[in-house]
Amino acid sequence: MARQFFVGGNFKMNPNTRKQKEALVEVLNKAQLDSATEVVIAPPSIYLISLKEILRKDIQVAAQNCYFKESGAFTGEISPGQLVDAGIPYVILGHSERRTLFHETSEVVAQKTKAALAASLKVILCIGETLEQREGNQTAEVCQEQLKAVVGVLTEADWSKIVIAYEPVWAIGTGKVATSAQAQAAHADIRSYLSKAVSPAVASATRVIYGGSVTATNCSELATQSDVDGFLVGGASLKPEFVNIINAAK
Ligand code: G2H
């Protein structure tokens, strides 16, 4: 079965005002979007509910993070159940900025993934290697290590609720995009690992999307690769060109 193309917009800690948030939504609400593509945008948590209320209904909303506990004394955190209660269907977990700046280990990401799925959220699970690791030919190994922690805590059925975002750290926000051959090779390795570690059926059904300096200029070529099932877009998701990226499906 063909995998549905998926485009996510990760706004990160942007925009700075509610007015700017409304302007971003207005561009998307007026745009002609490929109805065959699943589109999800992830604003900062303070805007999740208000943005969802004004956003067209064929675009879904994701949180950029959540905790693995349901409630309690965890200052500053949001639980998976709270997101579900607010009508938010997706959460991004394991983004490299969370792993690097906020010291989230693969084990913590796995715990969060398990808790999110248990609360019936869907997860955009980010993995990817640093420049040093790529130069040391460790790309496949690093991605496998990051996935392994998650594989260990999920059932085979859980994978239907997961989109894997391969985001090489050296390409994030740097303007240095992976070549389509580099993206294809990494995605094929991820699929082959899933086939061995979970099942061939999960490997062939799971969407593996690419993230890291995706723009309207480079998205079309990346989208032609057989194992690239869409994109997770940061900087360019805050610009009108996001519409072109959404419409980049092969
Ligand atoms: C990678 C990506 C979005 P950008 O972090 O997840 O950001 O497109 O700005 O590199």
Burial class (CB in 10 A: 0-12, 13-18, 19+), 192: middle
Q: Bridge partners of 35? A: none
Rounded mean pLDDT of 47-72? 98
- Asked if 135 is an active-site residue, the reply is no
Q: What is the largest CA-CA distance in the chain?
A: 48
Q: Bridge partners of 123? A: 91, 162
Task: Note the pLDDT of residue 250.
Answer: 54
**169: closest CA among 65, 99, 64, 66?**
99
DSSP code for 159: G
- Residues 86-119: tens digit of each pLDDT: 999 999 999 999 999 999 999 999 999 999 999 9
Residue 224 vs residues 55, 227, 230: alpha-carbon distances, Å: 29, 9, 10
What is the ipTM score, two decimals? Answer: 0.96
**How far, in Å, CA of 125 to CA of 128, rounded?**
10
- Residues 164-178: tens digit of each pLDDT: 999 999 998 888 889
The b-or-e profile of 24-54 (16+ CB within 10 A means b, else e) is: bbeebeebeeeeebbbbbbbbbebbeebbee
- Asked if 95 is an active-site residue, the reply is yes
- Residues 17-55: tens digit of each pLDDT: 999 999 999 999 999 999 999 999 999 999 999 999 999
Task: Answer whether 177's CB lies under 8 Å from 214's CB.
Answer: yes
Task: Note the pLDDT of residue 244.
Answer: 97
7 touches ligand 1 (CB under 6 Å): no
Task: Note the pLDDT of residue 229.
Answer: 98
Q: What is the residue with the minimal CA distance to atom 8 of ligand 1?
A: 234
Rounded mean pLDDT of 135-158? 97
Task: Tell how far the Cα of 235 is from the centroid of ligand 1, in angstroms.
Answer: 6
Q: Which atom of ligand 1 is nearest to the CA of 214?
A: 8
38 touches ligand 1 (CB under 6 Å): no
- Please write down the HEC assignment for all residues of 1-27: CCCCCEEEEECCCCCCCHHHHHHHHHH
Q: If pLDDT is split at 50, 70 and 90, which confidence band does 1 have? A: low
- Residues 201-233: tens digit of each pLDDT: 999 999 999 999 999 999 999 999 999 999 999
235 touches ligand 1 (CB under 6 Å): yes
Among residues of the chain, what percentage have pLDDT more than 90? 96
